[in-house]
């Protein structure tokens, strides 16, 4: 039988998993977005769009560049210049 998790605990766990995924993607600059997209069906840009959409659903104004910076850990153009092949 699965463990019962309170809704607020589920939210905390999901947020922690999201933060870990973002950190992992920031650390793996050797992995290109196209590689992630081909294997997983989403990439860093998709994650940023989902983040922005979640903000909008909650009435928080967030631009695509701001959401990308949250995912990439730096401005997108800077990341592209440093790591995109």
User: Does residue 64 lie within any of the structural domains?
Assistant: yes
Looking at residue 66, which CATH number applies to its domain? 1.10.3340.10
Print the domain residue range for 38: 32-85
Residues 15-72 pLDDT 10s: 999 999 999 999 999 999 999 999 999 999 999 999 999 999 999 999 999 999 999 9
Q: What is the pLDDT of residue 46?
A: 96
pLDDT at residue 1 tops 90: no
User: Does residue 1 lie within any of the structural domains?
Assistant: no
Q: What is the pLDDT of residue 2?
A: 74
Task: Record the pTM.
Answer: 0.87
Residues 70-82 pLDDT 10s: 999 999 999 999 9
Backbone angles phi, psi at 73, to 5 degrees: 80, 10
User: Does residue 27 lie within any of the structural domains?
Assistant: no
User: Does residue 37 lie within any of the structural domains?
Assistant: yes
User: Does residue 2 lie within any of the structural domains?
Assistant: no
Task: Give residue 84's region: left, alpha or beta (phi > 0; psi -120 to 50).
Answer: beta
Number of structural domains in the chain: 1
């Amino acid at each position: 039988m699965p463990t019962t998790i309170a809704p607020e605990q589920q939210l905390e766990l999901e947020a922690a998993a999201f933060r870990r995924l973002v950190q992992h993607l920031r650390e793996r600059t050797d992995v290109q977005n196209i590689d992630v997209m081909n294997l997983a069906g989403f990439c860093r840009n998709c994650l940023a769009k989902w983040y922005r959409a979640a903000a909008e659903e909650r009435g928080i104004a967030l631009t695509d560049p701001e959401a990308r910076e949250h995912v990439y850990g730096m401005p997108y153009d800077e990341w592209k210049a440093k790591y995109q092949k």
